Chain A
Amino acid sequence: MTDIYTFDSHDLQKIDKLIAKYPEKQAAVLPVLWYAQDKFGHTDASVQKLVAKTLDIPEAHIHGVVTFYTQFYEKPMGKHVLDVCTCLTCQVSGGFDILEYLEDKLGIKTGETTPDGMFSIQSVECLGACGYAPMLQITNDKYVNYLTREKIDKLIEDLKSGDEPDFESIKMRQHLNGSDQ
């Protein structure tokens, strides 16, 4: 089998920089896995093999790390992975309703990917946005806060037409000139 995934010389330069942050090479395992996932979209067995070879670390160790951390995708996922928080505050703020709404809308269950490969849905633990519940994260990146059905509709439309949401900065109410207090 030929290796489908490779790092080119530009990648290797970047990876050398990641390794240089630590006194030992093994510490670069997480950063290099992130680098690989950003490039290839996942860290399946072949990507794990590539990372192992690049860092000269046993494949078994890399596999152990990938399976320990939830954000590494062990297999290819949909183009957009919708991670809906259903934990604590999100739970009591309608997180499960949002999840069900998404399942109905996309016609898939949690943990599945749409046949066209556009969307995957996951139910995840607290994302550190409890004050802005319910919320979801898109493919390990942007947060979408204060979710409603309407907001989900718009989000799906936007993602389908290639529009990724911007980062939403949520100011502290205390800072809003006291007018809100």
Chain B
Amino acid sequence: MAIDWKSYTPLLIPAINNLHEISVYEKHNGYKALTSVLQDTRKWNPKSVIQEVKEANIRGRGGAGFNAGLKWSFMPEPDGKPRYLACNGDESEPGTFKDRNIFEFNPHLFIEGAIIAGYAMQVNSIYVYIRGEYRSWVYMLQKAIDDAYVKGYLGKNILGSGFDVEMYVHMGAGAYICGEESSLMESLEGKRGYPRVKPPFPAQRGLWGRPTTINNIETLSNVPLVINNGSMWYKQIGTETHPGPVLYGISGHVNKPGVYEYPAGMDIMTLINDVAGGVRGGKKLKALIPGGSSTPPLRGEVLEGLTMDADALREAGSMMGTAGMVILDEDTDMVDLIWRISVFYHHESCGQCTPCREGTGWLEKTLYKIKSGNGEMRDLDLLLSICNRMEGRTICALADAAAWPVRYSINRFRDEFEKKCKKTVYALA
């Protein structure tokens, strides 16, 4: 059934003036979910909050689409020692620019969601990791946090419940890899952002060796919606396997790029043509990168009837990722584009694992050679073989993220790569 998107009213970022101010937020049911969780003790306790959120199946908006409530349930029983929630606002996957809108337009929704998550997992310290480039948004969130302290939503004995939680903002300093959850923890601990070998998983050994859960900013912002309206209501939004609202970050060759909020599972052509005003200059659509630079590009022809949700995109040979959709028109040089993506991953590889450190470099070099007209046909096989040696063989998923765009664009746009390559000449042929 097609989504009635025209009558959809945004829930994560409603069109309310000055909603970032705590008094305005409170007027529009703000902190009602938190109040209910902390005061309606017949209905709510940490376990029942986790249960409700798990049933709602909020799929992680940071890229992997994992059920948030299920992740929370992996936290061990409290033992009286510290445990942590880390909120991931690193937002560095190229093509992604949505979480900053939450900081700017509805920061209290996120703060409220994070406090409820903190209560559910019985943590007393929440760290919000924000990429260093977002300094302006760091200040906005800090202001909102300060206001929440003044109103008693943060700090000691929140709303007289006996529950204490502190919230701190930690600013990164320019490193994509720090969005990877274990790298984020290293960075928070004041080190270089080298991802950790898993297991142990963060719920066992996270920040400072203590149980930790990491969630994306948008993921946590869905929590108050679920608490206020129930998981049944939440699941009416979006698709059966991918419920809830999504912030679609639409960029590239469209007339009206920007962040739009609609249910998950939106028809891709509707998003491009009706929501984002169609391809710029009346050009033909060539390709879509559906959810950030690491998600495999799809050819324009396969987008008819395809929807933006985890299952549909997996079936189509890509991923939902961060829902940062990059629209590419017929004039786009795919080889040039993929080369630049490989520059990114080479630059951002932390260098711990040989397949990633060397592989990203080889991808970049080989693509540069092809792009400058010096490549040979056999370089395409070389590229694919480098991908084979990177995928699934490293500490974190950056190596996979680097390999996928290369592999799938060679698969799907091979003619463009071949056009730039000289025929391979074998010495003794």
Contacts and interface: CB of A to CB of B under 8 A. Distances in A.
Interface of A: 21-24, 26-31, 33-34, 57, 61, 64-65, 68-72, 86-89, 91-93, 125-133, 137, 140-143, 167, 169-170, 172-175, 180-181
Contacts of A175: 10, 13, 15
Contacts of A170: 258
A173 B260 contact: yes
A121 to B, nearest CB: 16
A174 B260 contact: yes
Contact of A128 (B134, B193, B260, B348): B134
A130 B324 contact: yes
A92 B253 contact: yes
A30 B100 CA distance: 21
B313 interface: no
B189 A27 contact: yes
Given A64-B192, A87-B340, A131 B173 contact: no
A131 B258 contact: yes
Nearest to B193: A68
B190 A27 contact: yes
Contacts of B155: none
B233 interface: no
Given A89-B94, A143-B136, A172-B15, 17 more contacts: A21-B168, A26-B191, A27-B170, A34-B173, A64-B192, A69-B132, A69-B193, A70-B173, A88-B326, A89-B326, A126-B93, A127-B133, A130-B97, A131-B251, A132-B257, A172-B258, A174-B258
Given A92-B337, A131-B258, A174-B261, A30 B173 contact: yes
A174 B350 CA distance: 38
A65 B191 contact: yes
Majority-rule SS of A interface residues: loop
Interface centre among B15, B131, B336 (most CB of A within 10 A): B15
24 contacts: A26-B190, A26-B191, A29-B190, A30-B171, A30-B173, A34-B173, A65-B191, A70-B173, A72-B174, A87-B94, A89-B95, A89-B252, A125-B348, A128-B97, A130-B94, A130-B97, A130-B252, A130-B326, A131-B257, A131-B258, A132-B258, A137-B133, A142-B136, A174-B258
Nearest to B132: A71
A27 B188 contact: yes
Interface string B90-115: 01111111001100110000000000
Contacts of A125: 92, 94, 176, 344, 347-348
A24 B191 CA distance: 12
Interface in B43-67: none
Contact of B174 (A23, A71, A169): A71
Interface residues of B, number: 63
Contact of A88 (B256, B341, B347): B341
Majority-rule SS of B interface residues: mixed
A27 B86 CA distance: 14
A88 B293 contact: yes
A167 B143 CA distance: 16
A71 B133 contact: yes
Contact of B135 (A23, A131, A140): A140
Contact of B190 (A30, A130, A137, A143): A30
B187 interface: yes
B230 interface: no
A28 B348 CA distance: 23
B172 A69 contact: yes
Nearest to B340: A91
Contacts of A71: 132-133, 173-174
Given A26-B189, A69-B132, A88 B344 contact: yes
B187 A30 contact: yes
Interface string B330-374: 001000110011001001101000000000000000000000000
Contact of B133 (A128, A167, A181): A128
A90 to B, nearest CB: 9
B249 interface: yes
Contacts of B324: 130
Contacts of B193: 68-69
Nearest to B139: A167
B259 interface: yes
Interface string B316-338: 00000000101010001000110
Contacts of A180: 256
B340 A140 contact: no
Interface in B266-323: 275, 289, 293
B250 interface: yes
Contacts of B133: 71, 127-128, 137, 140
A70 B177 CA distance: 12
B13 A172 contact: yes
Contacts of A31: 170-171
B173 A72 contact: yes
A21 B170 CA distance: 9
B344 A69 contact: no
A88 B340 contact: yes
Contacts of B190: 22, 24, 26-30, 57, 65
Contacts of B82: 23
Contacts of B251: 89, 130-131, 133
B106 to A, nearest CB: 11
Contacts of B332: 92
A137 B174 CA distance: 13
